[in-house]
Amino acid sequence: MKKTVHYLFVSLLASLIISCSSEEKVEQTEELTFEWEFVDSLDFEYLGNPILADIHMVGDKAVFYDFASSNILITDLEGNLVSEFNKTEDTPDSYGFMMNLPGFFDQNQISVMGMAGIFLYDLEGNMITRIKHPESIGGAAFMALAGKSMEKINLGGKDYILSKSVRGRETFPGEPRFYDLYRTLELIDIESGESAEMIPFEEGSLFKNGLGYWESDYMPAFEAKDEKIYIAMGGEGVLRVYDMENGRAVLDTAIQLTIPNFQPIEGNDLSSFQEGSITIEGGVASIRNIHIVEDKLVLPYYAGMEAQKSQELEELWMSGAEEEAELAYAEAEREIPKGALIFDLETLAYLGRLDMPVKAPSPAFASSGNFLWMEKPASEEVEEDFVRIYQVKLVQK
């Protein structure tokens, strides 16, 4: 099996916390030392190109998505295949083009976002419900990142789906109004099928400076717990915390991040965007997931590729030297800093950072049961017919 997973994260170091309600400024605490402790692993034997999508420790299950066959794969945490199904045919229970990796809504249900809507399936692939998108979708693209799928939030004792918003809003990134109308997330009522869009580009946001941005520049990373939403938009370098009040997301706190080795996002002239065109830049610096592990908030990061280096590689590829460009890209990718920032969940104080471990260097990973679940990279020398997932604990020294 040969695996290729494209991922991107932002390299950053927290320096300041700003409370939006009181404008109080809190200096960061003394940095602590952490380490990755490898507790266990599972080997999933499968000939294809699967990526870890989600883990549910209570249900003793993992879900993978296989790019080669478009199959959704359910395993136990011993690596045994429990079920396998495909929903890409032209049938009423098909999600169409996938827009987010599948994830566990609960231990017995899988949620998938596609162009045909948001679907809940049981573990055998039987459709439980379909929720139509609030607007028709003309086109879509997404970056598949291990462990990144839709989230669940409980409000007033009722579970909702929290997903990225895919509304067109009758505009596109080449128009100034796009950045005023844009909303990041959808709060989805499973029973009624209604969706409420929320979280705009806030005043002072990088994305409201009059320039245009590709979707990968502001692609959201988010997590929810106890009626709070934690979110970072692409490479902006800001972590925001929202309180859910009467179905609305109210900004509570913004953490401005100082970013060493960060490759700044470069806005583009609005005239360079075409309506109906969607661009995902794989080498841009950005936060691409947020995890809650015990009493910690963990932000994986990817520092991004220098613009000049990226241009050189693109020119090499366009010249016809595709194999040489691939090797050069792999070498440049290995040199890009990758790791995770750690915050106190309650106080949002910055606690420290960790480089990604050598045996699992990708900052794209899943979390469940107070553990992190990291993929071993595929061998570059030999074709493998298995995926190895490490069960990892974040430990303070």
Looking at the domain assignment, is residue 107 inside a domain?
yes
Q: Which two tokens stand for residue 356?
A: 């990604």
Looking at the domain assignment, is residue 168 inside a domain?
yes
Looking at the domain assignment, is residue 183 inside a domain?
yes
What is the rounded distance in angstroms from the CA atom of residue 271 to the CA atom of residue 291? 37
Looking at the domain assignment, is residue 262 inside a domain?
yes
Question: What pLDDT does residue 259 have?
Answer: 67
Identity of the residue numbered 175:
E
Domain count, the chain: 1
Spatial contact of 387 and 42, defined as CB atoms under 8 Å apart = no
Question: What pLDDT does residue 29 have?
Answer: 59
Question: What pLDDT does residue 28 have?
Answer: 53
Looking at the domain assignment, is residue 235 inside a domain?
yes
Cα dihedral value 312, 265, 262, 331, nearest 10: -30
Return the bridge partners of 85, or none.
Answer: 72
Q: How does DSSP classify residue 271?
A: G
Looking at the domain assignment, is residue 6 inside a domain?
no
Identity of the residue numbered 66:
D
Element (H, E) at 14: strand 13-19
Q: Range of 26's domain? A: 13-396
Looking at the domain assignment, is residue 7 inside a domain?
no
DSSP 106-170: ETTEEEEEETTEEEEEETTS-EEEEE--SS--S-------TT-B-EEEEETTEEEEEEE----TT
Question: What pLDDT does residue 117 have?
Answer: 96
Question: What pLDDT does residue 314 have?
Answer: 87
Identity of the residue numbered 212:
G
What is the rounded distance in angstroms from the CA atom of residue 97 to the CA atom of residue 361? 29
Looking at the domain assignment, is residue 212 inside a domain?
yes
Residue-level pLDDT, tens digit, the chain, 397 residues: 223 333 222 222 232 333 444 333 444 557 899 999 999 999 999 988 999 999 999 989 999 999 999 999 999 999 999 999 999 999 999 999 999 999 999 999 999 999 999 999 999 999 999 999 999 887 777 889 999 999 999 999 999 999 999 999 999 999 999 999 999 999 999 999 999 999 999 999 999 999 999 999 999 999 999 999 999 999 998 999 999 999 999 999 999 877 678 788 889 999 999 998 888 888 889 898 999 999 999 999 999 988 888 889 889 999 999 889 889 988 988 899 999 999 999 999 999 999 999 999 999 999 999 999 999 998 877 878 899 999 999 999 8
Residue 187 sits in a domain of what CATH number? 2.120.10.30
